[in-house]
Amino acid sequence: MFVARSIAADHKDLIHDVSYDFHGRRMATCSSDQSVKVWDKSENGEWHCTASWKTHSGSVWRVTWAHPEFGQVLASCSFDRTAAVWEEIVGESNDKQRGLSHWIKRTTLVDSRTSVTDVKFAPKHMGLMLTTCSTDGVVRIYEAPDVMNLSQWSLQHEISCKLSCSCISWNPSSSRAHPPMFAVGSDDSNVTYGGKVQIYEYNENTRKYAKAETLMTVTDAVHDIAFAPNLGRSFHVLAIATKDVRIFKLVPMRKESTSTGPTKLEVQIVAQFDNHNSQVWRVSWNITSTLLASSGDDGCVRLWKANYMDNWKCTGILKGDGSPLTGSSGQPTAMSTVVGSSVQTSQNALNGMSAGRIGKRAPFAPPLRQLISPKIYQQHPSYY
C-alpha cells in the first residue's frame, strides 16, 4: 500500500507549487510567504530542508528545475510581475563556506506588466531556454546564450495569446519530425469563450512561433497542462486540469511540401473524468507516459491508466493525509501495489495541490510521478 509521509514545510502561508529535480532526489517548494525552500532526500528516505530564502515581493506561484546538465538551477515566478533564475554554488577551497552550498540569484526577468503565472524550462535538446506566461496574455521565451553565465538572458520571442495565461507545458519530443511545440492554458473564468488551451509550434522558415491549434472544447478555467513524455510516438498526448481531468491526442496531419504554416493537428479527446467532483489543480505523467496522476480540491490524488484498447480508467486513489479511502461499500478502495514505497520517485513528481490564485485553501497532496523498475514490472506485469 502507499504510505504517505508528511513534511513539516514550515512555510508561513499557502504552498502553491512543488517541483522535483530530474533524479527525484531534490525538491523545491514555493509559497505565498514569498519564499522558496529546497529539500534533499537522505538515504533513509527522509526529506531535509537544505536551503530557504525569500525570493520575491509577492506570492510565488511556481518553481521549476533546469536539466542537471546545466547545473543546479531553479526558476521561480511571482505575483510581483517577475521571474527569477537561481543557481546553487558550492563554496571554493578559499571560502569560509568551503564545501557548503548556497543559492544566488543570477537574473530577474522584468518584461511582464502583470503577474507571472508559470515558468518552465524548455526540453534540454533545445538548449538552456526558459518560458514564462502571465496574466497579460503574453508568453515570453528567453535563452541563455552562454550556459556558463546565467546572468545573461535574451528575450527571443513574445507571443500574444489574447487570453490571461495560467500554465504552460513544452512538448518533450526530441524527434526531428516534431518541431518545438508548447501548450498554454488560460484560467479566464468566462465559460462562454471556448479555446482555453492553445498549441504553438516553431516555424523554421519564419523563425517564429505560430498557433497550430486551439482546443475549442475547453471552456472552463485551466489550472495545469502537461504533455506526456514521447517515447517515439508519431502523435502527442496532452493532459489538462480544469474542473475535471481531460486527455487529448494531437495527431499531426501530413504537411504539404509547399506549406509554410504550422502543422495541422487532428484533435481527439480520449478521456474525460470528473471523479474529483471539484477543481483539479495539477496533472503529471510518469516517465513512460503510461500513468497520469491528478490532484484536486477533494484532497485526493487519482491515478489513471489506459489498457491495450486505449480506454482510460482510475487505477488508484490516494488521500493526501495518508488515511485510507473507503468506497461506497465502506471497503477501502483497491489500489495497485506498484504505487508503494518501493517505486523510485522520478523528476517533476505530481505537484502539491495549488491554492491557486483565488485564495481558496486546497489540501496538499503527495508527489506521485514514478519510475518503474524492471523488478517491480516482473512482479506486477498486469499493471503495465
Read off the pLDDT of residues 234-247 as tens digits, 9 standing for 90 and up. 899 999 999 999 99
Query: What's the pLDDT score for residue 174?
Result: 82
Q: Which residue has the higher pLDDT, 367 or 380?
A: 380
* φ, ψ at 304 (rounded to 5°): -120, 140
Q: What share of the chain is helix, strand, coil (3-state, %, to 5)?
A: 5, 45, 50
Supply the pLDDT for residue 7: 87
Confidence of residue 330 (pLDDT cuts 50, 70, 90): very low
Mean pLDDT confidence for 57-79: 96
Q: Cα Rg for the chain, rounded, in angstroms?
A: 20
Asked if residue 359 has pLDDT above 60, the reply is no
DSSP helix/strand/coil, 208? strand
Q: Which one has a higher pLDDT value, 259 or 276?
A: 276
Q: How confident is the model at residue 356 (pLDDT cuts 50, 70, 90)?
A: very low
366-380 mean pLDDT: 41
pLDDT, the chain, mean:
82
* Confidence label for 255 from pLDDT (cuts 50, 70 and 90): low
| Local confidence band at 309 (pLDDT 50, 70, 90 cut-offs) | confident
Q: What is the pLDDT of residue 367?
A: 39
Every domain of the chain with CATH number 2.130.10.10 lies at: 14-160, 199-326
pLDDT band at residue 177, thresholds of 50, 70 and 90?
Answer: confident
104-155 pLDDT, tens digit per residue, is 999 999 999 999 999 999 999 999 999 999 999 999 999 999 999 999 999 9
| Triad 344, 347, 286: Cα angle to 5° | 70
Q: pTM of the predicted model, to two decimals?
A: 0.81
Report the amino acid identity of residue 315.
Answer: T
d(CA 160, CA 145): 24
Question: Which of 209-218, 295-304, 331-340 has the least mean pLDDT?
Answer: 331-340
CATH superfamily for domain 199-326? YVTN repeat-like/Quinoprotein amine dehydrogenase (2.130.10.10)
Continuous H helices in the chain = 374-379
pLDDT at 342 over 80: no
Tell me, what's the pLDDT at 98?
Answer: 55
- Give the model's confidence band at 83: pLDDT under 50 very low, under 70 low, under 90 confident, else very high: very high
| CATH H superfamily, domain 14-160 | YVTN repeat-like/Quinoprotein amine dehydrogenase (2.130.10.10)
Task: Compute the distance between CA of residue 379 and CA of residue 102 in angstroms, rounded to an integer.
Answer: 42
- Mean pLDDT within 3-19: 88
Lowest mean pLDDT among 133-142, 158-167, 254-263, 360-369: 360-369
pLDDT of amino acid 249: 93
Mean pLDDT, rounded, for 150-172: 94
Given pLDDT bands bounded at 50, 70 and 90, which one contains residue 81?
very high
Provide the pLDDT for residue 198: 95
Return d(Cα 360, Cα 81) in angstroms, integer: 21
Is the pLDDT reported for residue 366 higher than 50?
Answer: no
Which has more confidence, 256 or 82? Answer: 82
Say which DSSP state 10 is in: -
Rounded-to-integer distance, Cα 308 and Cα 290, Å: 11
* Between 45 and 225, residue with greater pLDDT: 225
Say how far apart CA 60 and CA 79 lie, in whole Å.
Answer: 6
The set of cell numbers assigned to 231 is: 517515447
